[in-house]
């Protein structure tokens, strides 16, 4: 068991494409690190460099005390789960799981014992004599896991290990994978493009975009204090509402489309950097749960919006609304066509018992203290 | 239900096809079991009235009429086997290694080289006959097993390589990567993962190569001028003398010539259809 230390690695593909830029990341022994980002951002490339399947153009990779940057994959003592599972089609489940052990010259009895243990953990015992072609997708996924855990490697690498499963099984296997990883206590790098998976599974989550690491922290920290527009827009579902806003003189108020919100002194004192933006444009963000239907007698800050669609999810309702403020799209996250529209949509999480009709004007109260502010140019969060 | 309405058409079509291709074989078998007199009777007999095995004895150099065949076709059978098998083994080894290199390694002019190799399939083989003869003469390989095996191999390699190339292309690289992460060396990956998976392709390439080799005529006729290397095909045609054409014996030899590949295809065919890769990924 060991940690993984990635130091400023770069990948330039032979065709000149620079897929990963100066990525530095440390995965502590036993830690579950999720690497998340939109498709094509370089997650797989980064993982493959750690695995030794892709040459590192620049930088170094260390596993435990050993610099493995130029070691071939087979000498790195890592296990990897591939998105397509990459099972050996001509071998039985048992042989698939035991292959790595047989290469190490371990005796048959010992291999059988360890394969059986791994199969037990993954409830695969009754399939040990089957070929991969005779298994369901979920069973194949577990065989791929079995192949990884039987080895007791220094590190686990998983590339979209669950994305070929159907939604229900995926949720189930998330917990399963987390449970096994915690039990074995092996440093794990887990790649996914699914931010829910990242939030639920990661001890820490590294968000990447366009080959560049955006932020790496505990999931709740990413959610509560995104360092830039990209992380703000990427983490969370439904996504954070982001609008262009004009900060008033003295930063005591804010103009959002045709409406005005007062900024309590606390907001500015907690974000001293905001003072410099007085009289200028900023990007303001609030999470759907920081909006609620304003009570008739309620005080606080209120936005007038027009309801567009209500989705009842049982435990809550998602209220999609229109507001006459310019919506900002985080770079790289879902690009819609209505970016330039003066009125745009937003989402609020409201109580399940709230009665709202479509195409109605309602008032939403905003939890101003929880708002996020970003520089419209750089996209960086405005804090200190 | 289209299928049942036109089902009879399929049956008729397949029947015609079978009749078309198998009747000559049947006729050869029929004739091989007759005496010369029966064979030349008119009207011809569609069934052997009493089975005569003397033709088979004769072509292998036994029995009373053996004198006419001068030692029989036993040697030719051996020659055919050695040459076809030799070419098959050599072709398969080279095709597998070569195709793997083309499918997996990256090197300069890779695409171009591959197409050059495959393009040789379109060369008319007879255009190469004279140059090959000249080359073999210079190397002292005319009328040797090695010479014929080399020539066959050069001719069959592109097709075999193309078959193997497609097998390797269909094999996801991630399977080999998984093996390397499991700790396998390149050689171990090739032997324990890649080869077993592409075995159906190898069987197909081997069968095709063997059958091609078995059926060669012009090349061995030109390149092997004596009994020591003459395959069955050539020996068969040599059975007809200047004055007498021993139809029954020629047909017996033809049946022997057909029997070997027929048996091989019959027993190895399943390897071709063995869909072993299915289910390895996803
Ligand atoms: N062999 C290659 N040669 C050139 N460019 C490549 C190569 N492999 C990947 N790329 C490019 O590098 C970028 C990152 O690819 P990568 O596979 O790491 O993305 P990813 O984040 O894993 O995406 P996904 O979520 O779709 O799997 C992509 O733009 C891709 O087109
Ligand atoms: Mg990927």
The more confident residue out of A98 and B3 is A98
A209 lines ligand 1 (CB under 6 A): no
| pLDDT tens digits, A42-76 | 999 999 999 999 999 999 999 998 999 999 999 99
Structure confidence at residue B65 (pLDDT) = 55
pLDDT, one tens digit per residue, over A197-217 is: 999 999 999 999 999 999 999
SS3 B34: coil
Instruction: Give the rounded percent of residues in chain B with a pLDDT score beyond 70.
Output: 89
Percent of chain A with pLDDT over 90: 73
Chain B touched by A71 (CB under 8 Å) = no
- Ligand 1 contacts CB of residue A42 (under 6 A): yes
Q: What is the mean pLDDT of chain A?
A: 90
Could you tell me if B203 and B268 are in contact, meaning their C-beta atoms sit under 8 angstroms apart?
yes
Shortest Cα distance, chain A CAs vs residue B206, angstroms: 20
Q: Hey, of A15, A90, A127, A191, which one would you mutate to test binding to chain B, going by the most B CBs within 10 A of its CB?
A: A90
Beta pairing partners, A348 = A319
Closest Cα in chain A, distance from residue B113 (Å): 20
In degrees and rounded to multiples of 5, residue A195 shows phi and psi of -70, -25
Q: How high is the pLDDT of residue A219?
A: 96
**Both tokens of residue A337?**
């066509």
Domain with CATH 1.10.3720.10 in chain B: 72-280
Instruction: Chain B: give the shortest CA distance to residue A136, in Å.
Output: 9
Sheet holding A241-247, edge to edge: A259-262, A253-256, A241-247, A281-286, A372-374
Cβ partners under 8 Å of residue A316, min gap 6: A349, A350, A351, A352
Q: Which residue is it, tokens 């051996």?
A: B78
Phi-psi region of A79 (alpha: psi -120 to 50; beta: other; left: phi over 0): beta
What would the pLDDT profile of A272-314 be if each residue is shown by its tens digit?
A: 999 899 999 999 999 999 999 987 766 678 999 999 999 999 9
pLDDT confidence of B107, banded at 50, 70, 90? confident
Chain B interface, best mutation among A81, A99, A144, A161, by max B CB count within 10 A: A99
Q: What is the pLDDT of residue B279?
A: 35
For residue B89, give every residue at least 6 positions away whose Cβ sits within 8 Å of its Cβ, in sequence order, or none: none
User: With a cut of 0.90, is the ipTM above it?
Assistant: no
Please state the rounded mean pLDDT for residues B54-63.
Answer: 76
Mean per-residue pLDDT for A151-167?
Answer: 91
pLDDT tens digits along A249-259: 888 899 998 99
Q: How many CB pairs under 8 A join A and B?
A: 87
B279 → closest Cβ in A73, A79, A132: A132
Work out the average pLDDT over B225-229. 80
Q: Give the burial class of B211: count Cβ atoms within 10 A of its Cβ; 0-12 exposed, 13-18 middle, 19 or more buried.
A: middle
CB A274 within 8 A of CB A268: yes
Calpha distance A257→A268 (Å, rounded): 21
Q: For B279, which of A52, A82, A133 is closest by C-beta distance?
A: A133
Inter-chain contact A103–B193, Cβ cutoff 8 Å?
no
Minimal Cβ distance to B183: which of A14, A86, A104: A104
In angstroms, rounded to a whole number, what is the distance separating the alpha carbons of residues A87 and A164? 14
- Asked whether residue B88 carries a pLDDT value surpassing 70, the answer given is yes
Burial (CB count <10 Å: 0-12, 13-18, 19+), residue B134? exposed
| DSSP, res B192 | I
Q: Contact at 8 Å (CB) between A376 and A370?
A: no
Among protein residues, the one whose CA lies closest to atom 27 of ligand 1:
A39
Structure tokens belonging to residue B10:
């399929």
pLDDT score at B66: 46
Cis peptide upstream of residue B18 (ω within 30 degrees of 0): no
Specify the DSSP class assigned to residue B45: P
| Helices (H), ranges, B171-281 | 173-181, 186-188, 195-215, 218-223, 232-238, 247-273
- Return mean pLDDT, chain B: 84
Contact A41 CB / ligand 1 (< 6 Å): yes
Tell me which chain A residue has its CA closest to the CA of residue B106: A14
Over residues B43-61, mean pLDDT:
78
Residues A224-256: pLDDT tens digits? 999 999 999 999 888 999 999 999 888 889 999
Pairing mode, if any, of strands A4-12 and A18-27? antiparallel
Q: How close is the Cα of A224 to the center of ligand 2, in Å? A: 27
Model confidence pLDDT, tens digit, residues B145-168: 999 999 999 999 999 999 899 889
Mean pLDDT of B37-49: 77
User: CB contact, 8 Å: B186 with chain A?
Assistant: no
Task: Tell me what pLDDT residue B262 has.
Answer: 87
Q: Which of A76, A89, A135 shows the shortest C-beta gap to B276?
A: A89
- The CATH number assigned to the domain with range B72-280 reads 1.10.3720.10
Residue with tokens 């003469």: B137
Name the band, by pLDDT with cuts 50, 70 and 90, for residue B3. low
Neighbours of B53 (CB within 10 A): 11
| pLDDT band (50, 70, 90) for residue B67 | very low
Mean pLDDT check: name the lowest of A149-153, A326-330, A346-350.
A326-330
Q: What CA–CA distance (Å, rounded) separates B215 from B266?
A: 17
* pLDDT digits 0-9 by tens, B237-251: 887 776 677 788 888
**Span A179-207, mean pLDDT?**
94
What's the gap in Å between the CA of B180 and the closest CA on chain A? 5
Best mutation site among A85, A91, A137, A141 for testing chain B: the one with the most B CBs within 10 Å? A85
Partners of residue B278 in chain A, C-beta under 8 Å: 89, 133
**What Cα–Cα distance (Å) separates residue B168 from each residue in A70, B94, B199, B225?**
27, 14, 11, 40
**Which of the two residues, A192 and A166, has the higher pLDDT score?**
A192
- Report residue A27: phi and psi, to 5°: -110, 115
pLDDT band, residue B203 (cuts 50/70/90): confident
From the CB of residue A24, how many other CB atoms can be counted at a distance below 10 Å?
13
């Amino acid at each position: 068991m060991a940690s993984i230390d990635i130091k400023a690695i770069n990948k330039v593909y032979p065709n000149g494409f620079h897929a990963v830029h100066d990525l530095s990341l440390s995965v502590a022994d036993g830690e579950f690190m999720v690497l998340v980002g939109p498709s094509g951002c370089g997650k797989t490339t980064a993982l493959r460099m750690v695995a030794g399947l892709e040459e590192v153009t620049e930088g170094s990779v260390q596993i435990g005390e050993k610099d493995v940057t130029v070691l071939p994959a087979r000498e790195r003592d890592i296990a990897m789960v591939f998105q397509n599972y990459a099972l050996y089609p001509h071998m039985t489940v048992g042989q698939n799981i035991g292959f790595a052990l047989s290469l190490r010259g371990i005796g048959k009895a010992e291999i059988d014992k360890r394969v059986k243990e791994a199969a037990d953990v993954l409830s695969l015992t009754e399939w040990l004599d089957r070929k991969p072609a005779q298994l369901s997708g979920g069973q194949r996924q577990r065989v791929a896991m079995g192949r990884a855990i039987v080895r007791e490697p220094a590190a686990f690498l998983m590339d979209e290990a669950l994305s070929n499963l159907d939604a229900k099984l995926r949720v189930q296997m998330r917990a399963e994978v987390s449970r096994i990883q915690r039990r074995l206590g092996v440093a794990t790098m887990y790649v996914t493009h699914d931010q829910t998976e990242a939030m639920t599974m990661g001890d820490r989550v590294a968000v990447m975009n366009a080959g560049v690491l955006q932020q790496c922290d505990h999931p709740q920290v990413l959610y509560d204090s995104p360092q830039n527009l990209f992380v703000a827009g990427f983490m969370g579902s439904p996504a954070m509402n982001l609008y262009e806003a004009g900060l008033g003189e003295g930063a005591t108020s804010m103009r959002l489309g045709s409406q005005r919100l007062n900024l309590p002194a606390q907001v500015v004192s907690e974000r001293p950097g905001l003072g410099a933006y007085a009289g200028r444009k900023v990007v303001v963000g609030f999470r759907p749960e920081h909006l609620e239907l304003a009570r008739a007698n309620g005080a606080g800050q209120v936005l007038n919006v027009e309801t567009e669609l209500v989705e009842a999810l049982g435990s809550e309702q998602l209220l999609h609304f229109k507001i006459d403020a310019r919506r900002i799209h985080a770079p790289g996250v879902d690009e819609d066509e209505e970016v330039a529209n003066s009125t745009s949509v937003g989402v609020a999480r409201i109580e399940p018992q709230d009665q709202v009709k479509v195409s109605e004007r309602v008032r939403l109260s905003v939890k101003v203290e929880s708002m996020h502010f970003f520089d419209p140019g750089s996209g960086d969060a405005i804090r200190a | 239900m289209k299928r049942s309405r036109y089902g009879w058409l399929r049956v008729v079509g397949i029947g015609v096809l079978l009749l078309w291709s198998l009747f000559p074989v049947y006729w050869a078998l029929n004739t091989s079991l007759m005496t010369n007199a029966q064979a030349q009777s008119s009207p011809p007999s569609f069934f052997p009235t009493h089975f005569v095995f003397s033709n088979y004895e004769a072509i292998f150099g036994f029995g009373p009429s053996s004198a006419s065949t001068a030692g029989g076709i036993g040697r030719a059978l051996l020659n055919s086997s050695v040459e076809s098998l030799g070419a098959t083994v050599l072709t398969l080894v080279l095709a597998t290694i070569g195709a793997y290199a083309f499918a997996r390694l990256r090197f300069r002019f890779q695409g171009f080289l591959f197409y050059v190799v495959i393009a040789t399939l379109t060369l008319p083989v007879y255009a190469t006959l004279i140059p090959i003869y000249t080359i073999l003469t210079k190397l002292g390989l005319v009328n040797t097993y090695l010479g014929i095996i080399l020539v066959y191999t050069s001719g069959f390699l592109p097709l075999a390589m193309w078959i193997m190339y497609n097998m390797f292309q269909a094999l996801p690289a991630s399977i080999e990567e998984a093996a390397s992460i499991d700790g396998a060396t390149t050689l171990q990956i090739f032997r324990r993962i890649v080869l077993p998976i592409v075995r159906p392709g190898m069987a197909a390439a081997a069968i095709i190569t063997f059958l091609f080799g078995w059926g060669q005529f012009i090349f061995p006729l030109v390149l092997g001028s004596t009994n020591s290397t003459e395959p069955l095909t050539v020996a068969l045609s040599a059975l007809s003398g200047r004055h007498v054409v021993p139809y029954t014996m020629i047909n017996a030899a033809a049946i022997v010539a057909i029997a070997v590949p027929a048996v091989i295809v019959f027993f190895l065919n399943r390897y071709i259809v063995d869909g072993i890769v299915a289910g390895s990924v996803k």
